[in-house]
Structures are given as structure tokens and as C-alpha cells.
Amino acid sequence: MNRIYADFNATTPMGRACQEGIEAAIRLWGNPSSSHAHGRQANEIIEESRRLVAAAAQVNPTELVFTSGGSEANALALLGSYFATQSTFRLLTLSVEHSSVLDTARFLENQGVPVDHIPVGIQGSIDLEQFRKQVDQFRPSLVSVMAANNETGVIFPLKEIFQICRERKIVLHTDAVQAFGKLPPAQWNFCDLVTLTGHKIFGPKGIGALVVKKGVPMVATHFGGAQEIKRRGGTENVLGILGFGKACQELPTPEELKHLAHLRDRFEKGLLETLTGVHLNGADVPRIPNTSSIRFEGISSEVLLGALDLEGISVSAGSACSSGSITPSHVLLAMGLGKQAAKESLRFSWGKTTTPEEIDTVLQVVVKHVHRIQERKRRT
């Protein structure tokens, strides 16, 4: 059975340039810190990739710190800022951030550090006036707001947020993991700290970066080596870095992204026109072009996900399974959905390899199973 993958926000397969680049370099094993020829060769790979990633993100290569992924980059942004400023540190972050931001924030809070959260409305976006008031009330030293949400695809108004922060000399961090390769860099690369990862852009897993703009207070949280200009100790993941750079050369073009948005719209329109009790989360606010978070009223996401899986379709429930029970998504709860409603949503996330035929097949299969489940419920 040819499976259909509709979970590109979870991860992506490696693209051709990335795979070929890694295959070609697999026998290079020098330590990039060694000054002999083996080491220099490995170091050249890193520096070439640094240029490629920086070019794709349109930032200065000297501002890029390679990390083990987006989670570590988020932790470094928050913890590195905290340790650099300590007594003057106060964090304001968004209630729908990725768990790597929220859990780091919780850790800081448990150490007695002041942390506040920005609420979102029913559409999953923020009210800028309310945000401005919160900033003036709490006077944070660091604001962390993601560029786009991984579950709903909702895009946050970073330009306006940056303006508010700049006027008050507040450092702005953005987790751009889901925006990189889906939104033009000019929509997020002006932030003081920017988180990126490789495996959402057809690159390898276990590699990411934090962009640290010149002059932003930041100290290392990994020690024992002078790597990354002493900003992140530890022997570099040379092949991961190489693959990340190669993936950056194959980011979708604006035309491909437009096509993706068209496919997503066709899918959403098909569902909304054919089925009853279907709701699009974040329907009325700007979203990245590949993500549809859909609530199927009265239908457990676990049941629908399982049915689709058996049909060869991979999607995400947008909720974590822990101790055998489904925990409702913190993103949907923060948007005001009740516990039950939050367990009725599926996330479909498409990629540059998605075809119109795949969209139509998924649409057809979802409609079939929703009708089947609704019919069974009517009879009982």
C-alpha cells in the first residue's frame, strides 16, 4: 500500500540534495576543532553550511549558533538570556508556544524567575492592544512569541510585536521552526533571537540553530569547548549541519508555496462543503500555507486517526498520548475549546511533495469515515 503522509509539521523526509550531500560526506570523520587537514575539512563543511543556512534565513552567518534542534535552540534562547541578565530578567511568552518553550519557562518559574503568559483568542491569535498593555504592566526583559503555531498554523503579528518591544528595549525571541521555508524570512528574521530546525525543511533530525543578533545578551548553557565561538560547547554534528545547509538550498519557491496553499484550501473547502459538524481551527486569521487543524464535532480524534492510519494515511491528533489516555492539546485549550472539543481535532499538514491526487484521496477517506461514525452514532 502506498501510504499518504499528511504530517509534515511533525517532520519531513530528507530531500535529495540533503541525502546526496550526507552520503558523499559519510566517510569524512575529522573533528572540526582539530587544526590538521582532517579537522580543517570538517570545519569547512560547517562553515559552508553556516553560509547556506544564514543565506536562506537572510541573517548574518556570524550570528548563527548550531544546536541539536529547535528544542535546544528554544532552551538556549530562554536560559542563555536569563543567565546573561539574571536579576533584571522577566519573561513574557505565549500560551500556545511549543512545549520546549513552555517547559523551559516553567523550569525558570520554579526557580523563582517571573514569567507571564500572553493569552490567545478563539482564533488562536493575539490581541495586540492587550499585548501592549501586558508589556507595560509586566515590563518583561524578554518576549518569546512563535512565528507560526505548529498545530493550527496560525501566524503571529511579529512586525507589530517587534515594534512594541523595540520601543521599550525588550529582547524579542521567535520560534520560527514552522515558519522557516513556509513564510518569507522578512516576516520573522528581524527578531533578536530566532529558532530554526532542520527536520521540518526536508533536512536531518537532531540539528537546528539559534540566531543571536549582535549585542543581544546571551551566555552559553553548554560548556567544555570553544565551538560556535564559545556559544555552544560540544563537538559539532558535522553531517547534520551539512544536511541542514543542503536542505536550505531546496526550500520551496514562492510558486510552490502558493500551490501548497491552493491544495490546502481545496481540502478544507471539500470537507466544509461535504460534512456537517466540521470546524476549521483558526479559520479567520492568517495561517501558514500547509496546515489545516480541523475539529470533527462529536468524533474522537483518536478514533478518526486510527481509521485513517489503517487506510494508509498519516495525520496528527494534535494531542499527546500519555499513560494510555489522550491529553487534550494545550494549544486548543488555550484557544478556549473545552476538554472534549479539544480531543476532536486532527491536524493535516502538507508538504512540497503533496499531490492533488493525495489531497483528493485523503478528502474522500475522511468523508467516508466521518459519515460512517456519524451514522453509527445516530443508530445508537
Ligand X SMILES: Cc1ncc(COP(=O)(O)O)c(C=O)c1O
Q: How far is the CB of 238 from ligand X (least distance, A)?
A: 18
Q: Which of 18, 191, 248, 321 does the annotation list as catalytic?
A: 321
> Tell me, what amino acid is at 264?
R
Which residues 6+ apart lie within 8 Å of 9 measured at CB? 150, 151, 153, 178, 200, 290, 291, 316, 347, 349
Q: How far is the CB of 199 from ligand X (least distance, A)?
A: 6
Q: How far is the CB of 7 from ligand X (least distance, A)?
A: 11
Residue 171: closest CA among 144, 201, 209, 196: 144
The DSSP-derived string for 319-342 is: S-EETTEEPPPHHHHHTT--HHHH
CB nearer to ligand X: pick between 74 and 134: 74
Pairing of strands 171-175, 115-118: unpaired
CB nearer to ligand X: pick between 49 and 150: 150
User: What does the binding site for ligand X look like in residue numbers (CB under 6 A)?
Assistant: 69-71, 74, 98, 100, 146, 150, 175, 177-178, 197, 199, 208
Nearest residue to ligand X, by Cβ distance, number only:
70
Q: Is 5 helix (H, G, I), strand (E, B) or coil?
A: strand
Q: How far apart are CA 167 and CA 181, in angstroms?
A: 29
CB nearer to ligand X: pick between 204 and 252: 204
Q: Is 138 helix (H, G, I), strand (E, B) or coil?
A: helix
Clarify whether 191 is annotated catalytic: no
Q: How far is the CB of 111 from ligand X (least distance, A)?
A: 22
DSSP H or E stretch at residue 291: strand 291-296
User: Which residues are designated catalytic?
Assistant: 321
